[in-house]
Structure 1
Amino acid sequence: MTDTQDLNVEDAPEGVDIIQTLPLDGWHRAKGGRMVAFAGYEMPIQYEGIMAEHLWTRQSAGLFDVSHMGQLVFTGEGVVQALETVLPGDLTGLGESKMRYSLLLNEEGGILDDLMVTRRTGEDGEELYIVVNGATKYDDIAYLLDQMPDDATLNLLDEQALLALQGPKAVDALARLVPGVERLVFMTAGAFDWNGTPLWISRSGYTGEDGFEISVPAEAVAALADALCAEPEVKPIGLGARDSLRLEAGLPLYGHDLDPETTPVMADLGFALSKRRREAADFAGAQRILAERENGAAVRRVGLTVAGRQPVREGASVVAEDGSVIGRVTSGGFAPTLGAPIAMAYVPAELAAPGTAVKLIQRGKLHDATVAAMPFVPHRYVRAGAK
């Protein structure tokens, strides 16, 4: 029988109305973090200011608390095959300590969440470690449990915190505390030790910068955060800069740029459809998704550069010459690295080519914009073979 003992699904009803605190809640407040409600948790939106924190991360190293994310571990015979019914990535061919970005799909091919999957060896043998979004984790768990074979086990690691150390100097700071992490490359992971504390570290993140995500026992996370921030390259960074960084990197945010009505092709995430899985066409929504891949989707997610200095926010409309609404802005803000406003939007496929001029309307005001290639700021991942 699938093990749900550690999941506490009944304690987190749909919508997760109870605001929870992170293991580092007191630490954030002591550092001057301005706390806001996000994904069912009190989380820091900023410390010194979003602009300063954004630029610090781009030039040095920023420490983000992402402990609201769900860390799940799957074990048992048949788990990989079960997961492949709702994830379009090739998990069967995923190597030890290798990671893969994937999408949790409903039967219509809509996106229920985006997530990271890592194959690793645990105490009881081979397992899949999956990190899901905080706002969707309990719904994800319930949906995934329905796919699992009877003898599979799914554990929510709610005793683990999760930190993200991001920026070009992240490797320098972390390697002083945890020698050996510098050998990791983008989308690989491994088990490490810090002063007797076990860590699971991946070279990954969601800012477009080089960096790491660190799973650490909750009782040790404050000490680790203190040790990292004692390094000259590192400062604590809040949600505000995390959002502007991922927007510059062209990375979608679930619940904003992705939702159950959106397919991978519409979202311009076709790279998440592994070749073997496309050929087998045996994942949820495959018929629709593969038809869209072959013939094109009616709408596409695109990047936009916005004329002037005024950011255009989520909810603004893309309008035709006659004023009719033909698309929607899903993320938008000022890009500190570029010194200009940018956005993501869904537009008709015929308007999706870079260089296409479009008009946006926000609170009755018209804005000129141009479709732009993403990422807006080049990714700086450290890949295998890089020198």
Structure 2
Amino acid sequence: MTTARSWWRRGDDHRAGAQAAKEAAAEAFYELDTAQRDLTLSVETITAVDRSPAGRKAAADFQTLGHRVDEVSGRYIATVDEHDLDAVDLDLASATRARNAFTLAKDEILKVRADLDRFAQSLEPLQSRAATELARLAPAVAQAKQSLLAATQALDTVRAGGLRADGLAARLAALGPELTKLNQGAGAHGVQETIGRADEVRRAAEEIRAEADRLPQRAKEIDNRLVSLRTRVQAITTRAAQVEPTLSELRRGFSAACWQDLQRVPEQAAAAAAQAEQRLRETRTARDEQRWEDATAGLTAVRELLSETDAAVSAAGDRLRRLKEVSKDPQAEIDRTRFAVRDAQRLAMQGRTTPDPRHAGPLDAAVTRLDAAVAALTGRHPDYWAFLTETAAIRGTVEGVVADIRGERANQR
């Protein structure tokens, strides 16, 4: 009885050892399968977000690892099918072979599992970036849709106030296909592409909403500017009619050289005023038809036209005033110019015994030019306009020399 019991226990020990090896292999297989499933999700996340070479390489490397996992798993399953540890007649040799086979299968599984773990660690930077992108996805799409809704509501409000806003409505309608793609989701178009599309839709919708919000104020500003410019046109027309009497006074009191360039100002001013009137009518029509861009462009054109005309009309009166002043007292203009020259000469000599030729030359020439301009004031009707033009040019030259001197000294500090 004792001998039989010993042999039975020894057989049971071998069966238990094989069973333990089988259970260890099964646990390793289960953990490998779990690790592979988790890693599959990580790689799918990366490939959905990251279209870079690094992302493509991660997918390729994981596929290669997957083949190894399949091979090892296949051998493990074959081992399970091959060894029946529940057999009543399981002998020592069979139990030993089973234990060795399950141990080998477990070792292969653990080796592949270690490779999977290392691969998972190498993916952490890519996975972190992918997770960040995914975290941006839902808010980006939500913000885009909210912006579209806000733009739609802003347009409805504008239209309720009697403004058509056809251009803004067309721009909003053009975003419809983009909204459809957003609704189709990242699975159809990729995460990065969807985030980029959402950002573009949001920006476009926000611009439409902002322009819609400004539209009533823009219409009011255009109306105000139309009234203001019409008043300016009327004022220019009135002032243009006064240019001819000014020219008559210039002709009587001064030589032809002083007023010849102004001869066509009345004609030009009248033509410009008529042109401005026409542009205003066109602008009014554009505003009534709510062609806002055309209305704004028309206002700009009228303003520029009136500015040019105003300058030309003002030139005649300004010319007469300046000529009267200089004819009555040319010495004031002479003294003003001579003072500018002398002041520049004193500046050029500061800290020097002799002036720099680059500064002395233009200043000496300015003195000569001023003397010549004064000498030309002869006869019954001197060319006072030429005199004023020349003195202004002399002062301009002197100002340039002064600026050069001060700039050089500032650089030497």
- Which protein is richer in strand relative to its size? 1
Question: Using CA pairs below 8 Å that are at least 6 residues apart, which structure has the higher relative contact order?
Answer: 1
TM-score if structure 2 supplies the norm length? 0.18
TM-score if structure 1 supplies the norm length? 0.19
- Which protein is richer in helix relative to its size? 2
